[in-house]
Structure 1
Amino acid sequence: MINVPIKTNICKKCNDYFQHEENVALFKQHQYHFHCFLCIDCKKQLSHESFYLDEKLQLDISNPQVYCETCYYKRCSSCIECNQIFTPTSIIIEFQGQEYHNE
């Protein structure tokens, strides 16, 4: 997440105008007020935090399905063999309905 000078004058989520020289949250080439870019579960503001996108639920860019780190890991499935949570970069093998790390 970076702070950038505004290029448009309307927030993608709330459709309200940005204030003059207001910093904005930039995500997927769209701009949001800091108070509009929130974790979908706990509503924590994510403008200065690590966040994760749930690509499976991403249907509407005006309401991105993003999670803070805590909420993301609460929702994650884990490896049936080692019980470790899959990260966004994990390669997952599915065998007989069970998920495993690719290691």
Structure 2
Amino acid sequence: MTNPNNLIPGNRRITVSAKHFYAAWQFVSTEKTRYYLNGVYIEPHKDGGVLLIATDGHSMAVIRDATARFEGDKAETKPKPANDAKPVTAGPPPKCRPVVGLKTAPVTKPNAA
């Protein structure tokens, strides 16, 4: 498990509008099985301000707060993986099979009146 103290370093300060944060919070998952979706991700925007991102797995909110301030180290906005994490190596894409036996409704033209 990641240490929560490592997620936001002490030299980073994020100030956002409560109105924007509350709007993003409406999209946070409340299901116990989706514990990894129970927060709002905040990242700096290239034109200033921040993006507030939240999802419950069915719908998603991406809200830009242009008045927000993101102070401190902006180079690393994501937590580092644990020491025991294995790197993912790129390989060939998986082979896909066509779906066999899929029935569709015939396409008909509407009657011209």
Q: Please state which band the TM-score falls in when normalised by the shorter chain.
A: under 0.3
Q: Which has the larger radius of gyration?
A: 2
| TM-score, scaled relative to structure 1 | 0.22
TM-score calculated relative to the size of structure 2: 0.21
Which structure exhibits the higher relative contact order, with contacts defined as CA atoms closer than 8 Å and separated by 6 or more residues?
2
